[in-house]
Every structure is written in C-alpha cells, then in structure tokens.
Amino acid sequence: MPFSYLNDDLLTLEEQGLFRRRRIVESAQGAVIRVDGRDYLSFCSNDYLGLANHPALIDAACRGAAQYGVGSGASHLITGHSEAHHKLELALAELVGFPDALLFSTGYMANMGVVSALLSRNDVVFADKLNHASLNDAVLVSRATMQRYSHLDLVQLEKQLIASKHRRKLVVTDAVFSMDGDIAPVPELLKLCERYDAWLLLDDAHGFGVLGREGKGVLEYFATQSPRIIYMATLGKAAGVFGAYVAGSPELIQMLIQRARTYIYTTAFPPMLANALLASVHLIQEEGWRRQRLQDLAGYLKDHLKLARWKLMPSITPIQPIVIGSNKETLAVSAALMEKGILVPAIRPPTVPKGEARLRISFSAAHSLEDARKLVEALNELEKVI
C-alpha cells in the first residue's frame, strides 16, 4: 500500500490522545443541537450572539438566493462581485469606523492575504506566541522574518522592535485569544507601533459582535482608532453566517485587491450570504441584550463553579476555558459530559501548549441561565470523580 506508513502515524496520534473525530450535526446551531441522532446541550459553537438560525437572516438569505442565485460564479475581480457584496463592505466599514473594507471567504484567507500582500523577504513580523495558526502561516507564506514574543509580553516586544533594522514592520495579534479568552492590550500595542513605525494587524475574530456597546469589537471596547491599524474580523462567529473582512485605509484595501492572492484567485462567496450578513449587521448593533446575556452567563459560571484541581482561566468573553492538563483526562471529562447530554469540546496540543489540554466552553446568547446551571452542576460533580 503506498500510504501504509500513515497508519503508524495515526496510531501514534491515537495513543497520545491527539486523534480527532468529526461529529455529524443534524440540526441548526442553537443551545441544543442534534448530533448522531441525539439531542445535546451544546457549548461548542462560536455562534456567540445566537444569530446562525435567526429568522431575519434566513429570510434575507432566501431573498438573496431568489435575486442572485446560490453561487457567485466567479472571483470578485471577474464577475463575482455582486451588489450584495458591495453593500456589505460599505456597511462593515461604517460599523467599525474605517474608510473601506474588503470581503474574504474566511478569516484564514484574510490573514494570509493581508500579510503576503504587504510584506516580503526584507520585512519582519512580530507575533504573539498564542496567535491563531492562520497568522503564523501567513508569515511563512510572505517569507518575511517572524519574531515571536511571549504571550502579552510588551517589554519583550519593544526590545524586538528597537533591535529591528527591517524595511517594514508589522505587529500581528489575536484581539481575543481563541483558546484563552483574554484580550490583547490594543492601546499599548498601538503606542509601540507608533513609536517604532510599525503597522498593527488585529485579528478580531472572537471580538467582533461581542465587545463594545454596539458590538463593534475590540476597537470600540478600548475606544481606540488609528490609520496604522489593519482590522480583520470573521463573519461566521458572532455574525452567524460565513466569511471575513479586512477594514482599513483606501490605500490598504486597494493594495489587497491588487495583490492578495487569497482574494484574487478564488470564487467570491455566495451573494445570498452577503444579503444575510446585511441583516446580521443590523441585529449586532440593535440587540445589545445579546451581549448582556453573554456577560450574565460568564458571571454565573464564575460565581458557581467550585473547582479544586482544574483551573477556570480569567476571561470576560464568551470563551471560558477550563484547563485540565492531560489529554486523556480532558477527553474523559468531555466524554462524561456527553453521557450527561452536554457537549463541551476537548482542546489538545498543538492547538494549545503541551500539558494545557482543556475544555473550551463557548457561551451563546441562545443559552439560558438554566443551561449554565446544568453545565456547572455537571462539572462540579465530575471533578470529584474523574
């Protein structure tokens, strides 16, 4: 067999507790989902505002399908850039306070497109060690030098910036770190970028829609803005649909249109989804109760979870990680929760550092306090017996 050696690699992953399996979801996203024929209370989704199954978005998608069909048929630069895409870019730019915005099919493609379009061999990227994989891979594709700094260590970052003699400098960071739930110190990062003439790329995948009074994300949360900032956010999490966008200066957006390969050489995502996202943008701004529900749920968890061995990490976001440690114990806890009808994913290396396997609880505005109570009671019980 030409690929028989892969069996040994797969067996090793299994023995290390690192083998991953997909589940078959048979329902729409929500507080309760149907998986493999059984209903579960789910704390797995990044549908933070509970919009993925919202009637207004479904209606907008249907109207979009009736007008534009179900596929865009071409890349944005050929004939795939629809009126719906154009309206959505204008709405997103206005929402987050930038002159212009550009849609991408995924956040991964957006990060790859930005870094590779702006930087090359003679440039440097400074990256937080806990950044998302897409940011790390983007630097590799660009062939720029990458210097990583310890998580949130601004002293180390400043030393690196001082020592750099590179032509162009770019600091890249998650705004909300996806596995820890903590928030990057954006104002302080921006000051360093201003002091040492660097750009700042913020990946606000988990902050957009969640942070700020109107859900405008990390920049609203910190009341911060600057032409040095390149802002990226995804549209498949709090926005409830699919895609991503980059917002910034007109010059930045035009350069991405000309040079971002992940924008130029791919089919535009369906206009019907852009139509749904226009409805989502309205709900994000108008329904602040959804963000308040997230705060209430996180507060309930912190107040009622009584752990002796496991560690609930500090986070004010819907991401509430519980570090357990070993891969096998984390898998065992996740499996025991499933037996109780509760889904919480087990996150293991390389997604998180070795020895820091964890449960990643994701709250949604679709959850009730009763849902949170069931989760807390199950966790308090399991820590005593596993």
**Dihedral of the alpha carbons of 156, 158, 164, 166, in degrees to the nearest 10:** 120
Please pick, among 142, 178, 315, 364, the residue that the annotation labels catalytic.
178
Residue 246 pairs in a beta bridge with 102, 232
Helix (H) or strand (E) holding 103: strand 100-104
CA distance 188 to 191: 5
> How high is the pLDDT of residue 386?
84
Per-residue model confidence as pLDDT tens for the chain (386 residues):
678 889 989 999 888 888 888 889 999 999 999 999 999 999 999 999 999 999 999 999 999 999 999 999 999 999 999 999 999 999 999 999 999 999 999 999 999 999 999 999 999 999 999 999 999 999 999 999 999 999 999 999 999 999 999 999 999 999 999 999 999 999 999 999 999 999 999 999 999 999 999 999 999 999 999 999 999 999 999 999 999 999 999 999 999 999 999 999 999 999 999 999 999 999 999 999 999 999 999 999 999 999 999 999 999 999 999 999 999 999 999 999 999 999 999 999 999 999 999 999 999 999 999 999 999 999 999 999 88
> How high is the pLDDT of residue 204?
98
Please pick, among 206, 216, 280, 364, the residue that the annotation labels catalytic.
206
**Cβ atoms of residues 50 and 366 within 8 Å:** yes
* Known binding-site residue numbers: 20, 107-108, 132, 178, 206, 234, 351
> How high is the pLDDT of residue 130?
96
- Angle at CA 98, nearest 5°, toward 93 and 101? 45
> How high is the pLDDT of residue 331?
94
DSSP 128-163: ETT--HHHHHHHHHHT-EEEEE-TT-HHHHHHHHHH
> How high is the pLDDT of residue 3?
83
> How high is the pLDDT of residue 280?
98
- 206 noted as active-site residue: yes
The residue length of the chain stands at: 386
- 151 noted as active-site residue: no
> How high is the pLDDT of residue 137?
97
CA distance 284 to 275: 15
> How high is the pLDDT of residue 379?
98
C-alpha 228: how far from chain center: 22
* Known binding-site residue numbers for substrate: 20, 132, 351
The number of beta carbons lying within 10 Å of the beta carbon of residue 249 is 15
Q: Which CATH number fits domain 17-49+288-385: 3.50.50.60, 3.40.228.10, 3.90.1150.10, 1.10.357.10?
A: 3.90.1150.10
- Angle at CA 281, nearest 5°, toward 277 and 285? 160
**Cβ atoms of residues 198 and 170 within 8 Å:** yes
Please compute Rg for the chain using Cα positions. 21
Helix (H) or strand (E) holding 328: helix 327-339
- 116 noted as active-site residue: no
CA distance 106 to 138: 13
Beta strands 357-362 and 319-325, pairing class: antiparallel
> How high is the pLDDT of residue 1?
63
Please pick, among 54, 237, 280, 364, the residue that the annotation labels catalytic.
237
The CATH classification number of 55-286 equals: 3.40.640.10
Sheet holding 38-42, edge to edge: 32-35, 38-42, 342-343
Task: At 356, list the tokens.
Answer: 């820091």
Domain ranges of the chain: 17-49+288-385, 55-286
